[in-house]
Structure 1
Amino acid sequence: MGFVSTFVGILGFCIGLPIGLAAGFFFFIYSKPKDVEEQVVTPLQEFDTDTLLSVLPDIPNWVKSPDYERVDWLNSFVSDMWPYLDKAICNTIRSTAKPMFADYIGKYQIKDIDFENLSLGTLPPTFYGMKVYETNEKQLVLEPAIRWAGNPNIVLAVKLMSAKIRVQLVDVQVFANPRIHLKPLVPTFPCFASIVVSLMEQPHVDFGLKVLGGDVMSIPGLYRLVQETIKKQVASLYHWPQSLEIPILDTSIVAVQKPVGILHVKVIRAMKLLKMDLLGTSDPYVKLRLSGVKRPSKKTSVKKRNLNPEWNEDFKLIVKDPETQVLELQVYDWDKFGGDDKLGMQVVPLNQLTPHEAKVFTLDLLKSFDVNDSPDKKPRGQLVVELTFDPFKLESESFAAPGDEMMSKQNSLSKSLSNASITSEGGALLVSVISAKDVEGEHHTNPYAQIVFRGEKKKTMESLGFVEITLADVVNNGRLNEKYNLINSKNGIIHVELEWQTV
């Protein structure tokens, strides 16, 4: 009997299981739920004021403001890069915090401070929009709206005497609207030399802090105290106009060298020059230039039939690097029918000069500076010159600092007396033709910009319009970086940067 009952039970299970599954399947497919209600969707205009205000912070900035661009592509990029960004940011935090921790070791019975765990978690920040500013400067200005509700794993271990206290940061929320400057833009990857970050408003920062397993932020009054302390510290460090600058490239390598001063050269005389003419004389003149400068060299007048000529002629040369540049002086014998013969040459390193102090040099002329040439036993005479290096004033010395209205007004008044008084002191006008657009003409294949100053012309490479800028405007402002509508052009615009520097 036992065998029969067991067999019947197994047979019943094998027959009943598929029948039950089939019945349940058909019941699930063809039955309709009676307790599920359709979700009610309320139009936005039907919400009351309080409800709208509570929802407003969660609406992306690109929806609320037309100035913000939608940047879903950036969120996808950050999401894919987050595991690597997490490690890079954490490495930076470790290296930055290490010297800070070192200052506390040995104080307050603290023996060691270090991160036991440091990870920003798996949730990347989200960009709720991006605002891009157009400026005339060589920089890119971005203003993203960033929100980060992260799940970081940050544990700080503090060894206090013989005990180790662990402080854990949890449930972090950061809402911020930073302004990011990528500047200056340079022709070297990644095309900007530094990142400058400022906070345009106080950020919202919320987090939990666990010590010995308990959330200390739940202590009455402590949460508000910590929040206010963080806001004050952040405001003092990074709230606009304060900023955090992160160098990316070495500016000394990528930056274009600008003039830093003027070298005054007075070619006084030469003595006992070589005889190159048939009559036992020479027709000497001096050619001078600064190393590293492509512009044509300057030269003195020719003194006919003279081995001991006196010139007493003054020249001004623009200096870019007084530590490495040298003044090259070459004495030639003028020849009416052939090439001029070189009588001798010499150089003077500018680092031998003291700013604003005149120094007289008596130079022995040499055949050349090629060490492979045989020594010149024949004396070639001497050249006497007087040199003075006048560095340009710093911008803070020449013009008023931003925000100093009284000083700015005084400077503007004193510098706008007359063009004659403005240009009487030594100075250099730096002109950068940056771009032009919407110019029209019969030919557009080779447009160029021509700069005319006191009759001297400089050009970039067809004239399609012009603009006139007075020197007084540049001097009074110190620097102009503007876009001008071209005269004799319907829609042409030129972007020019001008800067006046004085000694």
Structure 2
Amino acid sequence: MGFIVGLLIGLVVGLGIIVLFVRSENSRSKLRNELAKMVAAFARMTVEDSRKILPAQFYPSWVVFSQRQKLNWLNQHLTKIWPYVDKAASDLIKASVEPVLEQYRPIILSSLKFSKFTLGTVAPQFTGVSIVEDGADSVTMEMEMQWDANSSIILDIKTYLGVSLPVQVKDIGFTGVFRFIFKPLVNEFPCFGAVCFSLRKKKKLDFTLKVIGGDISTIPGLSDAIESTIRDAIEDSIMWPVRKIIPILPGDYSDLELKPVGMLEVKLVQARDLTNKDIIGKSDPYAVLHVRPLPSRTKKSKTINNELNPIWNEHYEFIIEDATTQHLVVKIYDDEGVQAAELIGCAQVQLKELEPGKVKDVWLNLVKDLEIQRDTKYRGQVVNDSLNPVWNQTFDFVVEDGLHDMLILEVWDHDTFGKDYMGRCILTLTRVILEGEYKDSLQLEGAKSGKLNLYLKWMPQPIFRDS
């Protein structure tokens, strides 16, 4: 979360330049009405559009570069100022995040604090930008960011048994889209009253936990509990529709704050044909439901013992802040008593698919991981008895949202009696959209060795085939 500070600095400076240009060309009375339209128009311009306006010799060389090249100025400046951002932000983040961690602290721990927190020497990089037309009095910007950090973060945890352990958070890998709302547009410099920011979409968040001088696996359930705490804290502290407001000019910005817009009523009826997680007998399933993972807003069903077709018939209510983007998450667990519960499967319902005031009955297919759940999937051919398989297969995917969609490739070992997961690669689409086509060799995540060689080509128009 610390990289937000650096991000804001670059964005405010960049947007300020655009605003000043517009201000010099338009009268003060038209500024608020015209600014959002002009910024959005510039965002939609292509290289071809710029060539139609002026011959190449009359505009700077960067205009002919791709959008990725245009973002280089921001990445370069952020890299230069990153040591100062790290130093200034680390103490601030430590002080603001610790209360959030305490709120989500697992029940098995008596204390969860930072003993060391630095962002590291590697600055995040921006890979995509878009402007969302929001109205005459505001500008909404979304920026995709990648960060493979070398942060130095150590958690000082204590259990109720009196055990104190320093846990290092390392190998942080993050890809996500941040939303910035500049509102209201005003006549005073820097021409907007406040900046509102939020993590609009979290595509990837990987990290590892390591006890300094020991093995975290020696305490059963500790690693999973801490990892879940970190993910939930991030999810509910900056994930949209949660938003952080930074006032730039004095004023009342309560209209930017998070407010309830409705209530979701849910009836958890039953489940069928659940996977049995027990060696002896059957699973003891219970459900956990939430729209936001805040502990006070998470609902837990009763446990149905020794049953793979449980019937609950329980009612819940959830406060909704943004029906267009929020979703209901349902996770089914096997109750293991004093041991940590084992996930049987999970599913989600997009609230935008529901009609206000109307009841919708749905059966949800359980998956192992919501992060990689997708509607369009292809399976490659099985290459027998080979550690160097060659597929040479072509797959076409229809992309609805180039800024947010991802391509996920998984490699499995296909055996006679089943299949074993070997590793995966996750790609954003920004590079292939900007460059048109490219070849790359990608390291398999989750595997000790192995790479995938890919050739990707972007087709700007949808491909239609005769049925």
The two structures share one fold, judged by TM-score above 0.5: no
* TM-score, normalised via structure 1 length: 0.32
Q: TM-score, normalised by structure 2?
A: 0.34
Bigger CA radius of gyration: 1
